[in-house]
Amino acid sequence: MRVAIVCDWLTNQGGAEKVIESIHEIYPKATFFTTIFNQKNFPKLKNSKVVTSFLQKIPFAKTKYPYLFPLMPKAIESFKLDNFDLVISSSHTVAKAVKTGKNTLHICYCHTPARSLWQSDIDQRGKGLLKKYFIEKLKVWDKKTANRPDFYLTNSQNVKARIEKIYARESVVIYPPVNTDFYQPNSAIKKADFYLFVSRLIPYKRANLAIEVFKKLRLPLKIVGTGPLETKLKQMAQNYPNIEFLDAISDKNLLKLYQQAKGLIFPCEEDFGIVPVEAQSAGLPVIAFNKGGALETIINAKTGIFFDTQSVQSLIAAIKKFEKMKFNLEVTRENALRFSQDKFKKNFRNFVQTTLKKYQPIIKK
């Protein structure tokens, strides 16, 4: 069977890329199609065929790709996939709009409809980059091309409702894969007093809120991650030795932090949110904003607690409540096992196989 995996772009590692990695493990001989590719950040694709678009030739494309969003519809539509039996698009921006042949089954794993188009109040990365003219044109194109996939999969009930509202399409929830075999507790490691924040340093992740709170509480906070806000956030935390930036670290060192920390701070509204599941898998409870995918992955008062508004007062109140609580390590990990890599692969493979068997002969007629 000839399989293609289509991605918006492959420039940096993140939650969507972990899903792509697991899909690739199911279909190791698949050909990749993506608008922009940064090989050095994807060593596991060294021996895979990766087809890129004309955007790859732009000198700054690998690092400044958000500026190229208005060109991405044309880029994704430039690929020729007529000769593939199965196309799997991993889409949070444009990949779902790839054109396929009439005898090709196209299954889209939609992480979310483009947040910079439809949720600019949460994800403001499009602001200042896209003029209103381009945003409105892209919205029209995004809706129009929503009918190109034959079937939609998605990462949460949260996004399932969003897909139905924006695209008027049904979708099936298959929770994304978390490496629960790797992220395990270690009872031999003594718990420390610090809290942990793990994320790319971009606006909607709300690292600024965590910093403001810990400036007031004077409790230890370790921040793991890099991003365009790094300099600004470090300036915010100047003269506060309780706040430490660790930048980018290895998975092995991240696991140690999960095992040592008192709690994970998760102040953003996320589509699903792999980091809170990794933390719980390692036995670490979570303090999370009471919205989005966290509502599906955290059990209130058992594997973490929620706070209701993205404000300093609300998060402080939650941390003070958290400080008085005790959490069971085994219960916390057991909750995370619902999202293992093995379960993802099994559910994904079963959906594809069943769909191919039942619908491919009639799907394009």
Single pTM value for the model? 0.90
pLDDT at 124: 61
- pLDDT at position 365 is 45
Three-state secondary structure string covering the chain: CCEEEEECCECCCCHHHHHHHHHHHHCCCCEEEECCECHHHCHHHCCCCEEECHHHHCCCCCCCHHHHHHHHHHHHCCCCECCCCEEEEEECCCHHHCCECCCCEEEEEECCCCHHHHCCCCCCCCCCCCCHHHHHHHHHHHHHHHHCCCEEEECCHHHHHHHHHHHCCCCEECCCCECCCCCCCCCCCCCCCCEEEECCCCHHHCHHHHHHHHHHHCCCEEEECCCCCHHHHHHHCCCCCCEEEEECCCHHHHHHHHHHCCEEEECCCCCCCHHHHHHHHCCCCEEEECCCCHHHHCCECCCEEEECCCCHHHHHHHHHHHHCCCCCHHHHHHHHHHHEHHHHHHHHHHHHHHHHHHHCCCCCC
**Alpha-carbon gap, residue 353 to 23, rounded angstroms:** 13
Domains of the chain: 3-177+341-359 (3.40.50.2000), 195-338 (3.40.50.2000)
Tell me, what's the pLDDT at 133?
75
Provide the pLDDT for residue 318: 98
User: What is the rounded distance in angstroms from the CA atom of residue 291 to the CA atom of residue 271?
Assistant: 9
In this prediction, residue 359 carries a pLDDT of 75
Mean pLDDT by 10 residues, the chain (365 residues): 96 90 97 96 95 96 89 97 95 97 94 90 58 85 97 97 98 97 94 96 94 98 93 97 94 97 97 96 98 97 98 98 97 98 98 88 52
Q: Is 275 exposed, middle or buried (0-12, 13-18, 19+ CB in 10 A)?
A: buried
d(CA 125, CA 113): 14
pLDDT value of residue 128: 55
